[in-house]
Amino acid sequence: MKALRKFLDKKKPLFQKGGKFAKLQSSFEAFETFLFVPNITSHTGTHIKDAIDLKRTMSIVVMALIPALLFGIYNTGYQHFLSVGELANTDFLDICVYGLIKILPIIVVSYVVGLGIEFAFAQMRGHQVNEGFLVSGMLIPLIMPVEAPLWMVAVSTAFAVVIGKEVFGGTGMNIWNPALVARAFFFFAYPSKMSGESVWIAEKADSFSGATPLAHAANLVDVKGDAAVTLYQQHLSNVWDMFVGFIPGSIGETSTIAILIGAVILIATGIGSWKIIVSVFAGGYVMGMLFNLIGGNAYMELIPAWQHLIMGGFAFGAVFMATDPVSGAQTARGKYIYGFLIGFLAVLIRVLNAGFPEAMMLSILLMNTFAPLIDHYVVQGNIKRRLKRVKVSA
Amino acid sequence: MSEVKKIKKGLDIKLAGKAEKVLEKADRSETYAIKPSNFPGLTPKLKVKVDAEVKAGDSLFFDKYCPEINFASPVSGKVIAVNRGERRKILEVVIQADAEIQYQEFKKADPNVLSREEIKEELLKSGLWAFVRQRPYDVIAKPEDTPKAIFVSAFDTAPLAADIDFLLESEAAAFQAGLDALAKLTDGKLYLNTNPNLNQSKTFSGAKNVEIRQFTGVHPAGNVGVQIHHISPMNKGEVAWVIRPQEVVFIGRLFTKGIYDVSRKIALCGSEVKTPCYFETILGASVRNILKGKLKDDEKIRVISGNVLTGEQISEDGFLNFYDSQITVIPEGDKFEFLGWALPGLQKFSMSKTFFSWLTPNKEYRLDANLHGEHRAFVMTGEYDKVLPMDVLPQQLVKSIMIEDIDQMEQLGIYEVAPEDLALCEFVCTSKINVQDLVRKGIDLMIKEMS
């Protein structure tokens, strides 16, 4: 490694002020600090610092996403071969290879486009390249349908990085979760590619139904009595498959088990807020319960509250999206409220508005918007306690 | 005895090199210095010129805006230098010590029979006033104030902190005399905050004229600011005074012996010290003789007057800071680490469990001064809350300081915090934000706006 360090030290002046490539300083430093933790020491304040930094933090989140990614790769192959009726004749490796061939290009496009823009912005502003996109770049592919055209992924990613993040000043300044901005853009700009039956399964056979459980569930609204029960039995009763993830859906969102493994990693390392994760699930469950109690249509009556938590992007959103510290609530008390409302609203929108079966995305974006307001009231509470103290002692 | 308050939020950083409770002899230091920079917000005016002869207790400089507050020479001898920095700012007043210390004589009296004004006058005249600090703002107390209470923390929970029981061994009489003097200065109570697990000595449990409160738990349980918050939090317009036990002893010596005697024990600690232990020295001493032959020399080192969280880096022949009872020596760590952020990190300490070092919770670490990353904007949330045992929202407070919003700072509790109380926030910060500098900046701004 000494040779590499020497090489970098030799080239470094070229990229600093007055050097030949001074314009590329940010890019050079991004690579340099990726390879080597810099030699900067503390000169004011605490002399020792916690070993954690943003690179470590972000790489832990990426690690937590890997179970969902691996399952997504397998499930892509699984759903494809299932739809064409070849599942029994295909071995495990072929399924994985098929999934990998489908998914890898989406990941590459997301990272190349996103990091490209990040580097360009850092360069323009003379800033350091921030680590935030390492996570966004992985989240974006996992919430895309497998049949998403690559150019649409590229446009959505570019929109998310520029409008979702850079216009606000970069990582740490954005008000919405950038990955969800990408998905929302995709959803509204190219709706035909993110809804219906044909986009969730790669190269699906025409005869095979590729609807997601959420789409089936939305159909429950219009049917009554025995027909509803039959529909439920046919498409929604296999909760084990739903929990494990053998259902059509966005690439990384289907397997609740894989997502929970990620949740364990995030909570155990202290990176993800358990307060948010738990309260999102609680909020969803409570809304589901309310629907069960009130009733009104088959969707409300037949789907048990807990089933909402394993359908669609609910779990993925709760664990990986709602927990984004930048766009989420920042105060401890605010996190409970913020999380609860995300879960609550997600199930509410999902059940009442058939047009938006995937309500998790909208619910999180909405609560991202309101997170500063929630924090404002929590902060005011703290201020009021302090003022009250004066009155008591006076 | 009152109940014990347990501080749960916070973090004990286990460092290698804790000082053994053994008092070693070091060669006497020849030079001593008082540094105006040890007193935030002070504008010093010199009273002596180079080559002047001074006795221990003679004023070297005073506060331009409060001329009664003197800063005294710790030893007798000759002023050999007044070192200045940019714009002629005074950095150090250096004294070459006599072989035998000559003391300036002050009134010797039982503080119990003196009036409040007489005690104040003695403290101001002798230079001991500089040890009395106030909250809010963590600056030297104003003589004209009458504080709502005075707080003394009898234990220190900072990393590798000196054991205060040991520092005050055989000082019980002077300590009590100091407490008697302080008790006269307030209409409220004089609180002595002890930790039943750390303070075993009779000096504290037998102290009279005080209200004893008990605290246990992790750092910053020993910070007087945290204790005040749990006893009687600072509201706008209130003033409380704080002083450390070692300094109460100095006050006691003034009244029992009639001299300005600021000799003190200090702990020499840290992973780069061969045998960490205690030394007898005098405030402001050059650390050269203390460090001589005591350090490991296999790596570039950093000498800190004070602890690793709040101390100041000094050179190997620098001087002990005014308020410090320990010298910590750690590796400098100014080197690159290949893929350091990706390694398992068994030797790295982190509050988060992102490094595998959490598997060995009782390990003592040898930490260096490397930042372990680069400065970033705020990204993570909730980290600061875990290490500040106060009903204050640290991240919001720091942000309000960043945007210099005076009203918001006041509302969010700037009067309750000192930089040292948020030192752990700075330690755990993923974005490596200089929290203590910011808090001091906020306090300076408040002082400017409120005066």
CA angle B367, B372, B375 (to 5 degrees): 135
Contact (CB<8Å) B426/A46: yes
Q: What is the pLDDT of residues A321-366, one digit of tens each?
A: 999 999 999 999 999 999 999 999 999 998 888 777 778 999 999 9
Q: Does A134 touch chain B (CB under 8 A)?
A: no
DSSP state of B318: -
Torsions phi, psi for A221 (to 5 deg): -60, -35
pLDDT at B192: 95
Arithmetic mean of pLDDT over chain B: 92
Residues B177, B217 contacting (CB under 8 angstroms): no
- Min distance A303 CA to chain B CA atoms (Å): 36
CA angle A221, A226, A232 (to 5 degrees): 60
Residue A137 has pLDDT above 70, yes or no: yes
A45, A47, A55 member nearest B373 (Cβ): A55
User: What residue spans define the domains of chain A?
Assistant: 10-35+56-205, 213-246+273-394
Q: What is the pLDDT of residues A141-187, one digit of tens each?
A: 999 999 899 999 999 999 999 998 989 888 888 999 999 999 999 99
Number of A/B CB contacts below 8 angstroms equals 209
- Min distance A263 CA to chain B CA atoms (Å): 14
Q: In chain A, what residues touch B300 (CB-CB under 8 Å)?
A: none
Q: Does A273 touch chain B (CB under 8 A)?
A: yes
Lowest-confidence segment of A230-239, B31-40, B216-225 by average pLDDT: A230-239
pLDDT at A311: 87
- Min distance A229 CA to chain B CA atoms (Å): 46
Q: Does A20 touch chain B (CB under 8 A)?
A: no
Residues A33, B370 contacting (CB under 8 angstroms): no
If you average pLDDT over residues B233-252, what whole number do you get?
94
Q: Of all residues in chain B, what percent carry a pLDDT higher than 70? A: 100
Arithmetic mean of pLDDT over chain A: 88
pLDDT at B336: 84
pLDDT class of A241 with cuts at 50, 70, 90: confident
pLDDT at A135: 92
pLDDT at A210: 79
B310, B379, B434 member nearest A54 (Cβ): B379
Q: In chain B, what residues touch A53 (CB-CB under 8 Å)?
A: 341, 372-374, 376, 430, 432
Q: In chain B, what residues touch A42 (CB-CB under 8 Å)?
A: 369-371
The span from the CA of A171 to the CA of B377, in Å, is 7
pLDDT at B305: 94
- Min distance B423 CA to chain A CA atoms (Å): 7
Contact (CB<8Å) B304/A47: yes
pLDDT at A338: 96
If you average pLDDT over residues B226-252, what whole number do you get?
94
If you average pLDDT over residues B35-41, what whole number do you get?
93
Higher pLDDT: B194 or A15? It is: B194
Which amino acid makes up residue A56? R
Q: In chain A, what residues touch B382 (CB-CB under 8 Å)?
A: 273, 325, 330, 332, 335
The span from the CA of B272 to the CA of B296, in Å, is 5
CA-only gyration radius of chain B, Å: 21
CA angle B401, B407, B412 (to 5 degrees): 65
pLDDT at A345: 95
- Min distance A385 CA to chain B CA atoms (Å): 9
pLDDT class of A244 with cuts at 50, 70, 90: very high
Q: In chain A, what residues touch B373 (CB-CB under 8 Å)?
A: 37-38, 49, 52-56
Q: Which of B304, B214, B118, B146 is nearest to A43 (CA)?
A: B304
Q: In chain A, what residues touch B341 (CB-CB under 8 Å)?
A: 37, 53, 55-56, 59
Contact (CB<8Å) A46/B368: no
Q: Does A52 touch chain B (CB under 8 A)?
A: yes
pLDDT class of A32 with cuts at 50, 70, 90: confident
Residue A385: partners with Cβ closer than 8 Å, 6 or more residues away: B391
Q: What is the pLDDT of residues B72-113, one digit of tens each?
A: 999 999 999 999 999 999 999 999 999 999 999 998 999 999
Contact (CB<8Å) B423/A45: yes
ipTM, two decimals: 0.89
- Min distance A319 CA to chain B CA atoms (Å): 16
Choosing among B160, B229, B379, B409, which should be mutated to test the A contact, i.e. which has the most A CBs within 10 A? B379
pLDDT at A22: 73
Q: What is the pLDDT of residues A187-239, one digit of tens each?
A: 998 888 887 777 888 888 777 887 888 888 888 888 888 888 888 888 888 88
If you average pLDDT over residues A239-249, what whole number do you get?
89
Residue B346 has pLDDT above 80, yes or no: no
Q: What is the pLDDT of residues B348-388, one digit of tens each?
A: 888 888 888 887 888 889 998 988 888 888 888 989 999 99
Residue B149: partners with Cβ closer than 8 Å, 6 or more residues away: B186, B188, B189, B190, B191, B231, B232, B240, B241
Token representation of residue A197? 């039956």
Residue A393 has pLDDT above 70, yes or no: no
A33, A52, A172 member nearest B374 (Cβ): A33
If you average pLDDT over residues B439-448, what whole number do you get?
94
DSSP state of B221: T
The span from the CA of B420 to the CA of B407, in Å, is 22
If you average pLDDT over residues B231-249, what whole number do you get?
94
Higher pLDDT: A26 or B212? It is: B212
pLDDT at A132: 84
pLDDT at A15: 77
- Min distance A74 CA to chain B CA atoms (Å): 27
Which amino acid makes up residue B287? V
Which amino acid makes up residue A128? Q
If you average pLDDT over residues B290-300, what whole number do you get?
87
Residues A175, A324 contacting (CB under 8 angstroms): no
- Of all helices (H) and strands (E), which one includes residue A95? helix A92-125
Which amino acid makes up residue B240? A
Residues B229, B418 contacting (CB under 8 angstroms): no
Residue B207: partners with Cβ closer than 8 Å, 6 or more residues away: B175, B176, B179, B192
Q: What is the pLDDT of residues B140-155, one digit of tens each?
A: 999 999 999 999 999 9
Q: What is the pLDDT of residues A66-111, one digit of tens each?
A: 999 999 999 999 999 998 888 888 889 999 999 999 999 999 999 9
The span from the CA of A347 to the CA of A286, in Å, is 9
Choosing among A1, A9, A32, A52, which should be mutated to test the B contact, i.e. which has the most B CBs within 10 A? A52
Long-range CB contacts for residues A286-291, cutoff 8 Å, separation at least 24: A286/A340, A286/A343, A286/A344, A287/A343, A287/A344, A287/A345, A287/A346, A287/A347, A287/A348, A288/A347, A291/A347, A291/A351
Domains of chain B: 4-257 (no CATH), 263-344 (3.10.20.600), 384-450 (no CATH)
Residue B407 has pLDDT above 70, yes or no: yes
